[in-house]
Chain A
């Protein structure tokens, strides 16, 4: 049970000495409650406090890393619903490589996957893992692919290899890479030993809760702590239920055997069906999704969904502050100004587009705050907007000398004009949805 600030305060010295760097014990207690500070920062904490807070801070779901230098981190989740706090470690997206694939094309495929990246609202989105399946007779192909991946990629690797000899050879190859081993069948003591000796995490597969719990306990007893759980389910509906039940058991019942990230292998009839199921499991608790083939549209869709689900619902998403073209603007096109809160940007750009005109949209840096909030926090005011417009040298990019600002901040227009000699400010409507009609009725340039 998480402790409240007041609960923690009662354990602190109550001297308001400030040695922890925060002015009062209460403020420090609140930071502890929000996990924004460590108890060790208080030099005067009692043993009782250390004990009580220590027990409360152990994560109910273990953080597991896959990969070397740029390891993917999954798990360590604390809530069932993102609105309760946030989801912390986003689902890893893996691309499957099979030993049965055309060898000649493998290298270019690996490179293509490795190089694929796409930017969205200031974030660079990439795949995280290779899921390498040994599904042919040729033993050395598996090692060959491993070698290619290791040479050409920094992504983490999951090994899916029923041949234990080949698996061991592969693991020897990946000594410092913290790979994961995907078990198609129940993990034997030998498998667990192998994982332990190679510092690999283990994806346990089972067909019932009891069986999975038993394997999980066994692995833990043997000293393998980095586990990922795969409860193989016959269909998507069951998988969804199982994922929910396991997450709930870990978080609410403190059922330790399920205190690990979850994995599901998606079986689909075609790419549309795959996407539907992948979307469902991305929302509902899967920490790894394996894509059977490289498809940019699919990746871009899943990346976007992942970004949406794993953003902190309490922190706004920001877009890059810059000038965005809407339609095909010319130097004579009108210029709209707004803030860099993603939703504000999307709505405003969408409505300008809907109005059918081309325009420049100047998006100022307001640290992701919406128009009114940013204005109140002094981030969307004449002086700052003027500075931004000068910094980006807008004057050299356009011929228009009129700026259209949101109606909610009409009061900054004087200031803005004062700070931007030669420019005129037009105050637009308050709501973005009125932009199309505003555009029709007002001379914009």
Chain B
């Protein structure tokens, strides 16, 4: 029996989304980054187009995270409270392709920094690195709306990725993104319908489709990954299947999520069967990232330098296949 490769072609295509803007485009970035554009499942080079590789962002903070694992702190101790320096280190030493500035410190119960302070930090990061940046907020609606409005305004033209809006709080931030020309993350909690609904609401207010990135809300390995994984596969399948409201590139947060869990924090003495703590922290982030890459993630915000290195290398190796053929 002669074997014939069963190829499947899809009617749909994931929207191409570009983050960042060069001087020519009205910003100050040295280059832009584009994700999306595929017409087949991840790494299925034999049956479709994958014009862009998944990219890795690393994250810096406006205030030292309350629960930052010791194993990570060892890499960042000198810069953890200096977001601009930390960004530089992530880019130059660890190969970050984008920088996410997490503005947790503006939350009224976590520091209540003002919108102006936040804007200042973002500006410093923009000055210290030349790659495109992501601005990551929180769920205190009133405050984050104020902060994001300000940040969008002071970064006008930079085409930052504003992370995130949710179904119950999208209008203000989306309007700011339109006004100051930024790209937006639409975040919904692990549900295909909710993801689609928010995308519809955004496009219904004339938000441009090529400026939407979807965050299906990552659960990390062992903490909801079983749900996220399948929700992402379903979103991608539907998007490729021709559902335009689900055909957006997806962002995940393996770094943030993995750093929160017990596995990243407890010692081998307390949990001997969990093995080496140092390795475990990186492993957890790697397994989360790679499995979700297989499910369709295209933008990963990561923390652990070892994990970044190996995931990035594996993505390139896989894409060698495409370039080789």
Contact = CB atoms under 8 A, between A and B. Distances in A.
Contact of B46 (A83, A245, A276, A356): A245
Contacts of B318: 235-237, 240
A92 B182 CA distance: 47
Contacts of A253: 6
Contacts of A83: 230, 233-234
Contacts of A346: 223-224
Given A237-B317, A297-B275, A308-B225, A245 B5 contact: yes
Interface in A168-218: 209-210, 213, 217
B274 interface: yes
A440 B108 CA distance: 13
B248 interface: no
B314 A240 contact: no
B310 A272 contact: yes
Interface string B206-247: 000000000000010111111101100110010000000000
B175 interface: no
Nearest to B307: A272
A237 B321 contact: yes
A235 B317 contact: yes
Q: Which of A83, A209, A301 has the most CB of B within 10 A?
A: A301
A235 B320 contact: yes
A440 B3 CA distance: 65
A433 B110 CA distance: 14
Contacts of A343: 219, 223-224, 227
Given A236-B317, A350-B260, A276 B311 contact: yes
A240 B109 CA distance: 46
Contact of A245 (B6, B222, B237): B6
Contact of B226 (A301, A317, A440): A317
Contacts of A283: 229, 290-291, 294-295
Given A237-B317, A253-B6, A296-B274, A304 B222 contact: yes
B63 interface: no
Interface string A301-322: 1101101110101000100000
A249 B6 contact: yes
B109 A433 contact: no
A298 B279 contact: yes
Contacts of B82: none
A298 B283 contact: yes
A424 B130 CA distance: 57
Nearest to A233: B321
A275 interface: yes
Contacts of B272: 296
Contacts of A436: 109
B3 A275 contact: no
Interface residues of B, number: 62
Contacts of A279: 286-287, 290-291
A313 B230 contact: yes
A301 B293 CA distance: 17
B284 interface: yes
B67 interface: yes
A255 interface: yes
A308 B314 contact: no
A307 to B, nearest CB: 8
B287 A241 contact: no
Contact of B274 (A271, A297, A313, A356): A297
Given A213-B1, A283-B295, A301 B280 contact: yes
Contacts of A350: 223, 260-261
Nearest to B313: A273
Interface string B297-325: 00000000011011101100111111000
Contacts of A272: 282-283, 286, 306-307, 309-310
A301 B306 contact: no
A356 B314 CA distance: 37
A213 B43 contact: no
A397 interface: no
Contacts of B139: 433
Q: Which of B8, B226, B307, B311 has the most CB of A within 10 A?
A: B226
B43 A240 contact: yes
Contacts of B237: 81
A313 B71 CA distance: 33
B94 interface: no
A272 B286 CA distance: 8
Nearest to B66: A356
A298 B46 contact: no
Contact of A81 (B3, B219, B230): B230
B224 A235 contact: no
Contacts of B222: 120, 304, 307-308
Given A282-B291, A299-B275, 19 more contacts: A209-B3, A235-B320, A237-B317, A240-B294, A248-B6, A255-B3, A276-B314, A279-B290, A279-B291, A280-B293, A295-B276, A296-B272, A301-B284, A309-B226, A309-B291, A313-B227, A343-B223, A346-B223, A440-B109
Interface of A: 81-83, 116-118, 120, 209-210, 213, 217, 235-238, 240-241, 244-245, 248-249, 252-253, 255, 257, 271-273, 275-277, 279-280, 282-284, 295-302, 304-305, 307-309, 311, 313, 317, 343, 346-347, 350, 353-354, 356, 433, 436-437, 440
9 contacts: A116-B273, A210-B2, A272-B286, A272-B306, A275-B310, A283-B290, A299-B275, A300-B263, A301-B287
